[in-house]
Amino acid sequence: MSRFKEEEIGTRLRNVESAPQPPSSNAVMHAEAASSNSCRPHLAEQLMKQKNGKRTSDMTLEEMYYNSQYDFGDDEDDDSDWEPSALSAHDVMEIPKWFCLNCTMLNIGDDTHCDVCGEHRESGILKRGFVASASCREGATENGVHAADGLDPLVQSIASDNPTAIGFDERMLLHEEVVMKSHPHPERPDRIRAIAASLATKGRCHPISAREITQAELLKVHSVENVEAVEITSRVFSSYFTPDTYANQYSATAARLAAGLCFDLASAIWSGRAKNGFALVRPPGHHAGVKHAMGFCLHNNAALAVSAAKNAGAKKVLIIDWDVHHGNGTQEIFDKDKSVLYISLHRHEGGKFYPGTGSAYEIGSMGAEGSCVNIPWGRGGVGDNDYIFAFQHVVLPIAAEFDPDFTIISAGFDAARGDPLGGCDVTPAGYAQMTQMCCALSGGKVLVILEGGYNLRSISSSATAVIEVLLGESPKQNAVQVIPSKAGVRAVLEVLKIQLNYWSSLESKFTKLQSEWGWYTLEHKSAGKLKKKKRLEKQLPVWWKWGRRRWLYKLWCKKKIL
């Protein structure tokens, strides 16, 4: 690793703080004076000033995260000239505030439960995972079982004869934002603490020893610029690659451990030492490109797992990315590689959702057209039915035709129900069904890698549901009839129209779905009318249905619906 000159440090990292110092120090050295938005002081005031002046696609992940909490409308009255009357010291009352452990959202007052997610202020989720009650404080008795009992799942040995391997190392917990801001960072160590606590109740996985990935292995995916930029963070107390992508003196080690675990898990699964695996790692990776770290990601863990699988003998590798954000870094790395098929399902909204990439028309280049398949959702709130419908009509047909030797899932759980950043509605049962469909590919050689997910209860319950499927359990719910939303059908049709030029298996799917478009539209119209009718019926006395005024009742409902 070449040494950086002191004058080059500023060009490599933004907002680097001086060498190791106590956390209470406020001495911060900015590489660029103009980039003051890299910190988050006075967040509410900043958002009020910005209002609608900034497009969503231009926002960082954190700005989008906070916008989901603060919604400042236009003030009708201008009170800029208002001055408070003189108040004595005893008249001033400090309003208590606290941040929710589960979703990190700000709460005002002495309430014991979060206003956003309903989690108890003293939740036991870090000790018992999602099994802990959301309504009880830590240590309370739940169904006769004490929450805690001195159990530390992070150091507990979880060994079993089952060939599902788990990649985890406590040193990844040291990667955190060390400078106090106005709001906790959503990508925090508690994310994997909650999952580890949930997995401790299973006790049916076996761990794989962790090692730091080597520089030579990193350079198979990343440029020297990326490798050295991450490495230099170990010499400073706090630094930022982008306004929302932080590092401290332990982040480089954590990133190398995460990458090393993914690399070795891929090798173990390919060789047969493990049937499948789950990489419980952070920092995440799918936004990290060839040169740049961004979107909370330093090294691209999925891309390095692909490298390991290929080194071991895999000829064709499939990556399925169901994180709510598009994996722009993974797409960039394999854009010209036709031996790697990248399929991403994500919120896009015409490029307005972070990071703005991932259009259905981004298909790969330089002879690798068709090796990139983007399924962009045009709105939030997308749930199980839309995801499973997309799997049935796009993901599985293309994957079967590609016939991969190895499958990697970039498993972000920020599309999960309750996630404050994703704004979607996928349940643990939905993730389990998607995992089961993936396990039918590549002879079951599947590696699941953790990406995003910022609600501790959602991420831990979803990850556990996925691991249960890897262990051989069937999903708790199976969709008998999948009825997608109208927007979901439209998105799938758009993708099919573009990708059928490269995948012959899609032609029948596209033709059939086109013919059924009218049925889906009618189905949604009928469902909408039924809901409206029930709502209108409640506005009139029920006895009108059977009395002398029943004709007026029917006329009223029919007129309002039409």
Residues with catalytic function: 287
Query: What phi and psi, each to the nearest 5 degrees, are found at residue 137?
Result: -80, 165
DSSP state at residue 237: S
Residue 112, beta-bridge partner list: none
Q: Which residue has the tokens 């003293």?
A: 122
Query: What phi and psi, each to the nearest 5 degrees, are found at residue 514?
Result: -60, -45
Please tell me the number of Cα atoms within 13 Å of 110 on its side-chain side.
1
| Closest CA relative to residue 316, chosen from 411, 400, 419 | 400
User: Distance between CA 67 and CA 59 in Å, rounded?
Assistant: 10
Q: Which two tokens stand for residue 46?
A: 């900043």
User: Distance between CA 410 and CA 279 in Å, rounded?
Assistant: 10
DSSP 162-175: S-EEEE--GGGGG-
Instruction: Give residue 401's identity as a one-letter amino acid code.
Output: E
- Cβ atoms within 10 Å of 473's Cβ, excluding its own: 13
Q: Which residue has the tokens 């004595």?
A: 88
CB 476, CB 429: distance < 8 Å: yes
SS3 state of residue 195: helix
Q: Which residue has the tokens 């999952």?
A: 195
Judge if the upstream peptide bond of residue 84 is cis by omega within 30 degrees of 0.
no
Per 3-state DSSP, the chain is made up of helix, strand and coil in percentages (nearest 5) of 40, 10, 50
User: Distance between CA 71 and CA 96 in Å, rounded?
Assistant: 21
Q: Which residues contact 93 (CB under 8 A, 6 or more apart)?
A: none
DSSP state at residue 291: S
Q: Which residues contact 38 (CB under 8 A, 6 or more apart)?
A: 14, 15, 30, 240, 242, 243
Instruction: Give residue 255's identity as a one-letter amino acid code.
Output: A
- Cβ atoms within 10 Å of 493's Cβ, excluding its own: 18
User: Distance between CA 333 and CA 327 in Å, rounded?
Assistant: 10
User: Distance between CA 328 and CA 374 in Å, rounded?
Assistant: 11
DSSP state at residue 350: G
Q: Which residue has the tokens 């060498």?
A: 19
CB 63, CB 52: distance < 8 Å: no
Instruction: Give residue 441's identity as a one-letter amino acid code.
Output: L
Helical residues (DSSP H) of 23-92, grouped into ranges: 43-50, 61-67
